[in-house]
Chain A
Amino acid sequence: MKKLINKPEDFVRESLVGMAVAHPDLIKVHFDPNFVYRSDAPMQGKVAIISGGGSGHEPMHTSFVGMGMLDAACPGEVFTSPTPDQMLEAAKTVDGGAGVLYIVKNYSGDVMNFEMATELARTVGIRVFNILIDDDVAVKDSLYTQGRRGVGTTVLAEKICGAAAERGYDLQQVMDLCRRVNLNGRSMGLALTSCTVPAKGTPTFTLGDNEMEMGIGIHGEPGRERMAQKSADEMTEMLALSIIEDSTYSRTVREWDEDGGEWVDVELIDQPFQRSDRVLAFVNSMGGTPISELYIVYRKLAEICQKQGIQIVRNLVGPYITSLEMQGCSITLLKLDDEMIRLWDAPVKTPSLRWGI
């Protein structure tokens, strides 16, 4: 294992210390329990947005804390969900009286920990809801699995909902918007190499010299198929068509019912892409793939979308939701409406995403 680390057990803490030192104007870091929060929190009267997940996917989520995006982020150990005490303390710190939205990626650990945090926050009088992101089309059905994983759409939902909260949307409106972003976003990724979790010290999986994993998850979970590596254009086409041609998807998620004071199952259905859809195209590096290669992918993706009659009106290209040093990429397409475009364009000022200011 070759990494710029001192001791594996200090990986998360030392990285957070570095962030605090680098960006004191934007963020503060709380330790034990660990969370990153806006330096100007709590914002009175503004809905607070909190996300979190295992470390190792940076810049998501910690580097998306700041004006126009997240109010706080809770980092867990590498690839391990954070814990309810972190989420609860973060909520107490950033709640400005307008309530808190937890944006949760659909992994069993994250879901269970955020559900426990929601129950705890409710007992201390903080109005909290959680919305799941599950956009990974590599997972085909939700009946016999945990369901689709939360991947690239998470970054876009954090930006768009962050902008909405900044503009004064109330908690119900931010929640509805977050659900809408999730139902309009679809992603898929591939891996060319494995990543190595610092505490383990050896690669999570092994790929042959000419092999790739199509449909990889952001923790190195296997996807649809292991196959021989192909050209960039062929790989892009496989990802793009898997997303564009994916059919209607239905799942049951657990959401908090405020009136009943309990969890209720809600069925959510999203629809396939259609000709003349306007989309945001997001080409993401898994961490080890250089930006130059992402543009080779983007070039082919733009060509495919044009052929399919899908209009790319916004884009994001770069490493935003990574899997440590894994080589590979993911594509996310998010169907946009005018409101979502306005919110995407709105100012944002975080360590890793900044524009319009």
Chain B
Amino acid sequence: MVTKDQIVQWLQAFATLLEQNKDYLTELDSEIGDADHGINMDRGFKKVMSQLSSVADKDIGSILKTVSMTLISNVGGASGPLYGTLFLRAGTAVADKQELTDEDMAKLLQAGLDGVKERGKAQLGDKTMVDVLSPAVTNFHQALNEGKNAITALQQAVTAAEQGMKDTIPMLARKGRASYLGERSVGHQDPGATSSYLMLKSLLATLES
């Protein structure tokens, strides 16, 4: 079971990781994008943190939807609608829940991934967030099907996510501003994939602690 408190702690842990990696993400983005990913994500999650206390007594679905609306209104760029849609769909998938079963977690992750793919029209291999989220969700499902618990499944998901993040390095970008670089996008790790990895890593760290 994942409790509501753990979801709140996860969001706090992700916000902290984003703050610590703000310059790193922006640096990655200056290689193949427009040098603002770390700045925007940090600004968005600082705002999320300021809103969190007002919804902490609500259900998990409502908390995640509040995260979504806050990101949509404060992040801008491509990451605002993408992360906003991710949290909106994730929240809808677990509407009214006070705690989450392993199956709920699987639904939450799957819905988030589907939302990102739909909003951004990106597929696996396009050098985007999808290259981290998709293998993570696949591995999570697979581990649950093999009878493993959510933490073990998430460990496998995060391992796959890290590999997915590194796999974006040799990829040719096909979406977003990086796509204009063509061959020059090869050799750089995708910033959106990196922040998605940090999101999953902070979720695992929260559940393990």
Which residue from chain A places its CB closest to the CB of B73 in the assembled complex?
A85
Q: Does B53 contact A (CB under 8 A)?
A: no
Q: Does B167 contact A (CB under 8 A)?
A: no
Judging by beta carbons under 8 Å apart, are A77 and B40 in contact?
A: yes
Judging by beta carbons under 8 Å apart, are A108 and B78 in contact?
A: yes
Q: How far is the CB of A50 from chain B (nearest CB, A)?
A: 16
Q: Does A59 contact B (CB under 8 A)?
A: no
Q: Which residues on B sit within 8 Å (CB–CB) of A222?
A: 180-181, 184
Judging by beta carbons under 8 Å apart, are B72 and A84 in contact?
A: yes
The distance in angstroms between the C-alpha atoms of A173 and B74, with both chains bound, is: 34
Which residue from chain B places its CB closest to the CB of A217 in the assembled complex?
B180
Contact status of A146 and B40, CB under 8 A, knowing A220-B34, A221-B34: no
User: Which residues of A in the span 75-98 have a Cβ within 8 Å of any Cβ on B?
Assistant: 76-85
Q: How far is the CB of B13 from chain A (nearest CB, A)?
A: 24
Which residue from chain B places its CB closest to the CB of A224 in the assembled complex?
B182
Q: Does B200 contact A (CB under 8 A)?
A: no
Q: Which 6 A-B pairs have the closest CB atoms?
A: A145-B179, A112-B81, A109-B78, A109-B77, A80-B76, A108-B176
Q: Which residues on A sit within 8 Å (CB–CB) of B77?
A: 54, 76, 80-81, 109
Question: How many pairs of residues, A versus B, come closer than 8 Å at their CB atoms?
Answer: 102
Q: Does B30 contact A (CB under 8 A)?
A: yes
The distance in angstroms between the C-alpha atoms of A344 and B176, with both chains bound, is: 32
Q: Which residues on A sit within 8 Å (CB–CB) of B75?
A: 83
Counting chain A residues whose Cβ lies within 8 A of the other chain, the interface size class is 35 or more
Which residue from chain B places its CB closest to the CB of A79 in the assembled complex?
B34
Q: Which residues on B sit within 8 Å (CB–CB) of A139?
A: 180
Q: Does A149 contact B (CB under 8 A)?
A: yes
Q: Which residues on B sit within 8 Å (CB–CB) of A197?
A: 34-36
4 more CB-based (< 8 A) A-B contacts, given A79-B36, A200-B35, A223-B180: A54-B76, A78-B36, A200-B36, A222-B181
Q: Does B148 contact A (CB under 8 A)?
A: no
Judging by beta carbons under 8 Å apart, are A108 and B120 in contact?
A: yes
Which residue from chain B places its CB closest to the CB of A199 in the assembled complex?
B39
The distance in angstroms between the C-alpha atoms of A113 and B179, with both chains bound, is: 19
Give the residue among B36, B120, B172, B182 with the most A Cβ atoms within 10 A: B36
Which residue from chain B places its CB closest to the CB of A204 in the assembled complex?
B35
Q: Which residues on B sit within 8 Å (CB–CB) of A159?
A: none
The distance in angstroms between the C-alpha atoms of A33 and B76, with both chains bound, is: 12
Q: How far is the CB of B196 from chain A (nearest CB, A)?
A: 16
Judging by beta carbons under 8 Å apart, are B76 and A221 in contact?
A: no
Q: Which residues on B sit within 8 Å (CB–CB) of A204?
A: 30, 34-35
B64-106 interface code vs A (CB 8 A; 1 in, 0 out): 0000000011111111111010000000000000000000000
